[in-house]
Amino acid sequence: MEQIIFYLLALIMIVMAIASVSSRKMLRSVVYLLFGLIGVAGVYFLIDYNFLAAVQLTVYAGGIVVLIIFSVLLVHHMEMEMETAKKSKQILTGLSCLIGLGVFLTIMYSHEFTVVENTLTTTTAEIGMGLLSYDAGGFILPFEVISVLLLASMIGAIVIAKGVKLENEGKETVGNPQTRIENSQETEDEN
Amino acid sequence: MNLSLSITKNIHDWLFNMMPETLASLVEMTLIALIYLTIFAVIGLFLVLLERKVAAWFQLRIGPNRVGYHGILQTMADALKLVSKELTGTVNADKFLYNLAPYFVIITALMALAVLPFSLEFQAFDINIGIFFLIAISSIGVIGILLAGWSSNNKFALIGAMRSGVQTISYELSVGLSLLTMILITGTLQLSEIVEVQRNGWLIVQGHIPAVFAFMIYMISGTAETNRAPFDLVEAESELGAGFHTEYSGMKFAYFFLAEFVNMFIIASIATTIFFGAWLSPFGITESLPWLGVFWFLGKTLILMFLMMWFRWTFPRLRIDQLLTLEWKYLLPLNLMNIVLMALIVWLNLTIQF
């Protein structure tokens, strides 16, 4: 039963991944990508790692794919189709994909995998303790590094989105009365 | 894979005695799927009728009263009409995505239904991350609306879809954070354990002040997530025709319509589970009869759904900037402060326990 479900999920993921890169309609390939990601979540559910599965659904399916769809909605029109790449590029991409697959498979087959009989479900409490423990095997350092990275990216997003306005606010005291009025109007608009 | 299919032990044991294991589990899954599809349809149809009756009551009308006793069969007749209607489509639409979109909305609603604890044994999928799973699932539903709006090749539908995306992504945050506030008391994400915690008093009583705040925030953002008035910018009739489902007809339109009402039921029943003790009776008056839990659960959910209908027929629609201001400038900071307050209360043992 589990084997059947696993092979079904694997088939879905492979077919969707190929469809996602070969489709010439942008939004369709996003939807294929979404199905591929949901398939990954399905595999996590299959091995009883519910937390990671839900994270996969929230972050990738619910977050990133929605953002991609958003950007496609903003820039793309129904009748547009992506152009096919040049022959040389296609061959090059195919070759590099094959090399990647080869490296991946050799690593997979050179490693001895042991089959775990009774899988234990990881509870949320264990994950939380693991993230905050600074003993050996604890994840406090990566956790903190990632939070700093996220903070930096948030600040970066704000600076990019409001860059011109931030600069203007800095100059406000030296500027002539005309620009000051404009600036105050701008801030009013914001509010 | 250990699906805890705990709908009723007896049927489960009987099935596994009757036939080999693989076949029995297949039959069981099919049965559960059929039961939940039936629940889905019944809830949808009943809620449409209830909405119309409540609307009529608020507006001093009589409402549907021709088909069946006091109009009970009205929505059944409507559904039959919708089934028999022609499925129209637009010429330049992306047919694949156009046909796919309603199923996203329906399937996410169905998956969310499976986690809800209707009663002690009536829960299809008691996963150990219950609430997180619900939040994850509800974040996928919006994809259906976005796809529907885009693939219709219609400006109104596209605007509706964009509004829906903005609205759902923002208000998801509040839903998640207000539920997180309550997780601080329960200490678990599993829905059946959350119900067990509430044997010492419903969580809204246990957590008193921050719990009430969390409940209010949850109801506001839950109403916004289901795209109901006063947050129904997605399908604002006066501005956008019918919003993202302008181009849909017949049964596909009905899918969106049913899913909207089932989503309302899901929002209300999550509130019931988290704040009002799910199937637990008040003061444990029917503790000896666990099967009565279904009625308590549905009763509480009905009251909360009535509240949401009350919102709908009382408040005027918000503008899009007001909508975003409400979320990002008021609900979100309030929510974060509320979490700190709740953490303090749990830390100092100030919760009320019976």
Our CA-based measurement puts residue A52 at a distance from the nearest CA of chain B, in whole angstroms, of: 10
Q: What percent of chain B has pLDDT over 90?
A: 14
Residues B111, B47 within the same domain: no
Q: Would you state the structure tokens that stand for residue B337, as one six-digit string?
A: 């402060």
Residue B84 · residue B78 · CB < 8 Å: no
Distance from CA of residue B203 to its chain's centroid? Answer: 20
Q: In this structure, are residues A27 and A76 in contact, taking their beta carbons and an 8 Å threshold?
A: yes
| Short-list A64, A13, A19, CA closest to A40 | A13
CA distances to A22, B72, B78, B93, B253 from B85, rounded to whole Å, are 36, 22, 11, 20, 11
Q: Which residues of A touch B151 (CB under 8 A)?
A: 27, 78
Give CA–CA dist B266/B272, Å, rounded. 10
Instruction: Please report which confidence band the pLDDT of residue A126 belongs to, taking 50, 70 and 90 as the band edges.
Output: confident
Q: Name the domain boundary from B59, B84, B109.
A: B84
- B58 and B138 co-located in one domain: no
What contacts A135, CB < 8 A, 6 or more positions away?
none
| Cβ within 8 Å, pair A31-B100 | yes
Q: Is residue A105 situated within a structural domain?
A: no
Query: Residue A8: inside a domain, yes or no?
Result: yes
Question: Quick one: B5 and B19 in the same domain?
Answer: yes
The number of folded domains in chain B is 2
Q: Which of B2, B135, B146 sits opposite A58 (nearest CB)?
A: B135
pLDDT at A172: 55
Residue B342 Ramachandran class (φ > 0 left, ψ -120 to 50 alpha, else beta): alpha
- B79 and B120 assigned to the same domain: no
Residue A143 lies in a domain: yes
Which residue is closest to A28 within chain B, CA to CA?
Answer: B97
pLDDT digits (tens, 9 = 90+) for B218-274: 999 999 888 887 888 777 777 777 778 788 877 888 888 888 889 999 999 999 998
Other CB atoms closer than 10 Å to residue B324's CB: what's the count?
A: 15
Distance from CA of B272 to the nearest CA of A (A): 22
Claim to verify: residue B180 and residue B286 sit in the same structural domain: yes
Of B92, B129, B150, the CB nearest to A79: B92
| B346-to-B175, B239, B339 alpha-carbon distances in Å | 21, 47, 10
Which of A16, A28, A76 to substitute to test the interface with B, most B CBs within 10 Å?
A28
Examine the fold and report which residue of B84, B105, B125 is the final residue of a domain before the chain moves on.
Answer: B84
User: Residue B296: its pLDDT value, please?
Assistant: 87
pTM score = 0.85
Tokens (6 digits) for A187: 């801030």
Of the residues A28, A63, A83, the one at which a domain ends: A83
d(CA B65, CA B339): 47
Distance of CA B245 to the CA centre of its chain: 19
- pLDDT, tens digit, 9 for 90 and up, residues B126-165: 888 888 888 888 888 888 888 888 888 788 888 888 888 8
The domain tally of chain A equals: 2
> Range of B282's domain?
86-353
Longest dimension (CA), chain B: 64
* B124 class by beta-carbon count within 10 Å (0-12 exposed, 13-18 middle, 19+ buried): buried
In whole angstroms, what is the distance from residue A133 CA to residue A142 CA? 11
* A50·B137 Cβ contact <8 A: no
In chain A, which residues touch B (CB < 8 A)? 1-2, 5, 25, 27-28, 31, 34, 45-46, 48, 50-51, 54-55, 57-58, 61-63, 65-66, 69-70, 72-73, 78-79, 121, 123-125
Judge if A75 and A128 occupy the same domain: no
B161 and B123 fall within a common domain: yes
**Does B268 lie in the same domain as B184?**
yes
Alpha-carbon distance of A25 to B237, in angstroms, equals: 31
Tokens 């002539």 appear where?
Answer: A176
What token pair was written down for B295?
A: 């009625």
* Residue A35 belongs to a domain: yes
CA pair distance B311, B275, nearest whole angstrom: 19
Put simply, the answer to whether A73 touches B189 (Cβ < 8 Å) is no
Q: How confident is residue B4, by pLDDT bands cut at 50, 70 and 90?
A: very low
Q: Is residue A177 part of a domain?
A: yes
Please, are residues B292 and B333 in contact by the beta-carbon 8 Å criterion?
Answer: no
Q: Domain for residue A60, yes or no? A: yes
The answer to whether the CB atoms of B139 and A61 lie below 8 A apart is yes
Asked whether the predicted pLDDT for residue A185 surpasses 70, the reply is no
Distances, alpha carbon B153 to alpha carbons B93, B94, B227, B252, in Å: 5, 8, 21, 16
Domain span including residue A36? 1-83
Q: Quick one: B79 and B111 in the same domain?
A: no
Q: Number of H helices and number of E strands within chain A?
A: 8, 0
**Helices and strands counted in chain B (H then E):** 14, 0
CB contact under 8 A, A31 and B97: yes
Token pair of B46 as six digits: 């009943």
The upper half-sphere exposure of residue B13, i.e. CA atoms within 13 Å in the direction of its Cβ, equals 3
Within this chain, do residues B49 and B9 fall inside the same structural domain, yes or no? yes
Instruction: Judge whether A53 lies within some domain.
Output: yes
The vertex-B50 CA angle with B86 and B331, nearest 5°, equals: 100
Instruction: List the single best residue of B28, B103, B137, B140 to mutate versus A (max A Cβ within 10 A).
Output: B140
Interchain contact, A34 vs B143, CB within 8 Å: yes
DSSP B230-274: TSGGGG-HHHHTTGGGTT--HHHHHHHHHHHHHHHHHHHHHHHHH
Say whether pLDDT at B58 is over 80.
yes
Residue B341 has pLDDT above 90, yes or no: yes
If asked whether residues B54 and B116 sit together in one domain, one would say no
Q: pLDDT (tens digit, 9 = 90+) per residue, B275-333?
A: 888 888 887 777 777 777 888 889 999 999 999 999 888 888 888 888 889 889 999 99
pLDDT digits (tens, 9 = 90+) for A38-75: 999 999 888 888 888 888 888 888 888 888 888 888 88
Q: Is B140 found in the same domain as B76?
A: no
Query: Which phi and psi angles does A107 have, rounded to 5°?
Result: -65, -45
pLDDT confidence of residue B344:
92
Q: What angle do CA A157, A58, B345 make, to 5 degrees?
A: 85
Is pLDDT at A29 greater than 80 in this prediction?
A: yes
Q: Which value, in Å, is the radius of gyration of the alpha carbons in chain B?
A: 21
Q: Examine the fold and report which residue of B50, B68, B84 is the final residue of a domain before the chain moves on.
A: B84
Among candidates A50, A55, A78 on the partner chain, residue whose Cβ is nearest the Cβ of B153 = A78
We report the CATH number of the domain holding residue A55 as: 1.20.120.1200
**Residue A121 pLDDT greater than 80, yes or no:** no
Which residue type sits at A13?
M
* Residues in chain A within 8 Å Cβ distance of B115: none
A173 falls within a domain = yes
Interface pTM (ipTM) of the complex? 0.83
